Amino acid sequence: MSMRRRTLLKVIVLGDSGVGKTSLMNHNIYVHKKFSNQYKATIGADFVTKELQVEDRLVTLQIWDTAGQERFQSLGVAFYRGADCCVLVYDVNVLKSFDNLDNWHTEFLNQASPTDPQTFPFILLGNKVDIDGGNSRVVSERKAKDWCAAKGNIPYFETSAKEDINIDDAFFCIAKNALASDRAQDIYFQSVPRAVSEAEPQSGGCAC
């Protein structure tokens, strides 16, 4: 048996309803859904996990999404507790979703109360850049970047969950920044050798 070290990071995804939060976090097939219904029922939220390698660290992102209850104040403390990174999402084609970013940013800081709000890692995603080849967008990249600068240099990515634009880069940045902020909680686990005894039945079990 060998000991491996991995880091668990809790990531919260916030933004108006319909901007593409669920599509972004469910985008890749290597995302594993866990305890979905249980969490949905109890705290109105849902999470998936995503594994990434950042330099020499194995990182597990636990990404929390609202279960269609994006109204302010509707998410409980359990949703925000212990967050390592907050991903804000808006739709580049919907001005209101951009204007609401201030509210989501403030809401997060109020609810999660991070120890150092000035340096807490946020990231902004401007989603649905694919629509109409970009002709229907109403929020320019410049405007979004200015907002990010005013909030303390939040990293910004323009994404499309539909056409797989920038999503992996964005999640890598999320993991990197959350790690760098050194709020990460390390978990240790034992990795058990895969060898299966010949005496063990092969049927009925998980193939992986």
- Write out the residues near Mg ion by the rule CB under 5 A: 21-22
Minimum distance of ligand GDP from residue 130's CB (angstroms): 5
131, 141, 145, 172: which one contacts ligand GDP (CB under 6 A)? 131
- Cα gap 125→21, rounded to integer Å: 9
- Cα gap 99→47, rounded to integer Å: 26
Using the minimum distance from each CB to ligand GDP, give the nearer residue, 161 or 173.
161
177 lies in the site for ligand GDP, by CB under 6 A? no
- Using CB distances below 5 to 8 A depending on partner kind, what does residue 97 bind out of Mg ion, ligand GDP, none? none
- Cα gap 100→107, rounded to integer Å: 11
3 beta partners: 190
- Cα gap 16→104, rounded to integer Å: 9
Q: Quick one: the chain helix, strand, coil %, rounded to 5?
A: 30, 30, 40
- Using CB distances below 5 to 8 A depending on partner kind, what does residue 11 bind out of Mg ion, ligand GDP, none? none
93 lies in the site for ligand GDP, by CB under 6 A? no
**Hey, is 179 helix, strand or coil?**
helix
Using the minimum distance from each CB to ligand GDP, give the nearer residue, 133 or 204.
133
7, 12, 21, 144: which one contacts ligand GDP (CB under 6 A)? 21
161, 167, 170, 175: which one contacts ligand GDP (CB under 6 A)? 161
Minimum distance of ligand GDP from residue 96's CB (angstroms): 13
Binding-site string for ligand GDP from residue 110 to residue 129, where x marks contact by CB under 6 A and - marks none: -----------------xx-
- Using CB distances below 5 to 8 A depending on partner kind, what does residue 57 bind out of Mg ion, ligand GDP, none? none
27 lies in the site for ligand GDP, by CB under 6 A? no
The residue ranges that bind ligand GDP (CB under 6 A) are 17-23, 127-128, 130-131, 160-162
